[in-house]
Amino acid sequence: MRNKENTQLQKKDEIKVKKQAFREKNIDKIKEYERTYREKNKERLKEKKKECMICECGCRITKRSIKRHQATKKHIDLMNKI
């Protein structure tokens, strides 16, 4: 029983060491990947920010701010004019 546990522990350590070795060996690749991932995410966030739409009052707004926009005087005034 003890032996089995030991073997399992050893295997765990082996995996840990292997992972670490892999990371060290590929640190440049990993760094590059992480940088690309961050860049991609930045682009995606920018795209999300750009998500524009036209409100029923004719104002250009982002989807995210529609609720806030619809509570503004500008929107209410414009809607009253229609």
- Choose between 14 and 56: whose C-beta lies nearer to Zn ion: 56
Span interacting with Zn ion, options 17-25, 34-42, 45-53, 57-65, rule CB under 5 A = 57-65
State the Cα–Cα distance between residues 67 and 58, nearest whole angstrom.
15
Q: For Zn ion, which residue of 2, 5, 53, 59 counts as binding (CB under 5 A)?
A: 59
Buried b (16+ CB within 10 A) or exposed e, 25-60: eeeeeeeeeeeeeeeeeeeeeeeeeeeeeebebeee
Q: Under the criterion CB under 5 A, does residue 66 sit at the interface with Zn ion?
A: no
Residue whose CB is less far from Zn ion, 59 or 62: 59
